[in-house]
Amino acid sequence: MAAPWVILGRVARIAAAAAAAADPGDDAEADPADFSLAVALPPYPYILAAGPGCLLSRFSAAPFYVARFGLDPPDTHLVLVHRFGAAAGGSGTTASAVRVPDRPASMPAIRNIEGVGLVGLDDGEGYVIAELQIDSGSDRARLFRVHTGQDRWIETELRNPLPARDREWVPGGVVSLGGKLYWFNLSWGILSCDPFVHAPDLLFCSLPPGRVLDLARPHIHNSRSIMVSRGDLRYVEIIPEDSDNGEAARIFMSTLEPTGWEVPYEERFEEIWNENSYKKTWLPKEVPELVVVCPSNPDLVYFALEQHIFSVNIRGHEVLEFAEETHELVNLPWPTPASCRYVLAWDLPSTAAEDCWRSYLEEHK
Ligand SMILES: *[C@@H]1O[C@H](CO)[C@@H](O)[C@H](O)[C@H]1NC(C)=O
């Protein structure tokens, strides 16, 4: 059986009693999540990355709603949360937090939290955290790294492999796979390197053929994503209907192989809508938003429509799970889809998994 995993909202909901004063409208206690962790207040946590047995979080002193900082970036403090365990008394999860060293004043601050990647080692005991910064027009890229056991960040200059120097590189997310980091931009492509070597080579790979956009689109995270499933990097996209060309709305998926993108496969939404399993959900026949791909099964894709999350075996066109309750995965002050931007798929550490399973059984007794 595949390891239990969760869809983790990145904007953590503050649910402890102490938070009641800060947010009187929060009814999180009445509506327990499957996975929750008590944090000390007041800092506002935002989960940047999830690794095996660890989470990387940024804390800010005030709620914070943009990923990209302007010319005057605020202080960023990073914390690695690890050593998950069940709380005494059997309810909730405990963990320890380690403060990641701050960058010295002489080094540029973190520019974009969507460009901070994590490789977790030894079940969360070790880490490498890295950010890549590229100024448009420059033939150099700057890699900022910090490893466990080191008390400082190091900066390395790398060759900039981007094919168009005048196009600005803005990361839309980072994933880690096989000890490497992949910074992606959902309209352009992927930069990757091995953060463990002294002077890594930075490589560029465009999005699959036909998927590159000349201009970035707003809300692109609602329909495109790059994630790891069953040990491979996958590009997933919901391609909308194009009636001019007689093309129906469909889901597109391609896997990155050492030789390049694999021939993609595509499934039309109509095929899913026409199945009984979809009709049973009572959802309208509308193109949903993309949420995540199951980390162990690339055919199993999670979507959201009208705040409901459902999973579809896309090759079989069959809806497998449908959440009757509307999701509250994204804790922002305005309605926000549970898009790949705000959620992470995370394989639960075994200690936390047991606890989630126990509370699930309690609730469904
Ligand atoms: C991709 O890059 C463009 C600039 O080239 C930027 O405007 C956009 O926000 C980036 N977005 C994502 C989500 O990858």
Cα distance between residue 190 and residue 182, in whole Å: 6
What is the whole-number distance in angstroms between the Cα of residue 284 and the centre of ligand 1? 31
User: What was the pLDDT predicted at 70?
Assistant: 62
The pLDDT value given to residue 361: 73
Residue 30 resides in a domain? yes
Work out which ligand 1 atom sits closest to the CA atom of 341.
13
Q: Is residue 256 part of a domain?
A: no
Cβ of 187 below 6 Å from ligand 1: yes
- Residue in 169, 61, 58, 177 with CA at minimum distance from that of residue 113: 58
pLDDT at residue number 165: 84
pTM of the entire predicted model? 0.89
Cα distance between residue 120 and residue 124, in whole Å: 5
Of 134, 136, 175, 185, the one to substitute when testing ligand 1's pocket (max ligand atoms within 8 A of C-beta) is: 185
Amino acid 67: pLDDT:
62
Which is the closest atom of ligand 1 to the Cα of 68? 9
Domain enclosing residue 45, as ranges: 9-219
Contact 192 CB / ligand 1 (< 6 Å): no
Structure tokens at 320: 């497998």
Using DSSP's 3-state secondary structure scheme, residue 153 falls into coil
Question: Is 79 within the bounds of a domain?
Answer: yes
Query: Does 67 sit in the ligand 1 pocket, CB within 6 Å?
Result: no
Domain annotation covers residue 182: yes
Query: 168 C-alpha vs ligand 1 centroid, how far in Å?
Result: 8
Say if 365 falls within a structural domain: no
pLDDT given at position 22 = 35
Residues in Cβ contact with 60 at an 8 Å cutoff, skipping those fewer than 6 apart: 43, 44, 46, 74, 75, 76, 77
Q: Comparing C-alpha atoms, which of 160, 235, 257, 167 is closest to residue 203?
A: 160
Asked whether residue 139 is domain-assigned, the answer is yes
Give 172's contacts (C-beta < 8 A, 6+ positions apart): 114, 184, 185, 186, 220, 221, 341
Residue 144 confidence (pLDDT)? 97
Tell me, using a 6 A CB cutoff, whether residue 112 lines ligand 1: no
Let me know: does 138 contact 196? Beta carbons within 8 Å. no
Strands 173-177 and 154-159: unpaired
Q: 162 C-alpha to center of ligand 1: Å?
A: 14
Which residue is closest in CA terms to ligand 1's atom 12? 172
Q: Is the CB of 318 under 6 A from ligand 1?
A: no
C-alpha pair distances (Å), 351 with each of 84, 118, 217, 288, 361: 6, 21, 41, 34, 16
In a domain, 109, yes or no: yes
Backbone angles phi, psi at 115, to 5 degrees: -110, 15
Whether the Cβ atoms of residue 39 and residue 95 lie closer than 8 Å to each other: no
- Ligand 1 in reach of 172 Cβ (< 6 A): yes
Alpha helices in the chain (DSSP H): 269-273, 276-279, 350-363
User: What total of structural domains would you count in the chain?
Assistant: 1
Name the residue type at position 81.
Answer: V
Nearest-angstrom CA–CA distance, 200 and 193: 6
Q: What pLDDT tens digit does each residue of the chain (365 aa) get?
A: 567 888 888 877 665 433 333 333 344 444 556 666 665 555 677 889 999 999 999 887 666 666 666 666 667 789 999 998 877 766 677 889 899 999 998 998 888 889 999 999 999 999 999 999 999 899 999 999 999 988 899 999 999 999 988 899 999 999 999 999 999 999 999 999 999 999 999 999 999 999 999 988 889 999 999 999 999 999 999 999 998 888 999 999 999 999 999 999 999 999 999 999 999 999 999 999 999 999 999 999 999 998 899 999 999 999 999 998 887 777 676 777 777 788 899 988 887 777 767 777 777 66
Flag whether 162 is in a domain: yes
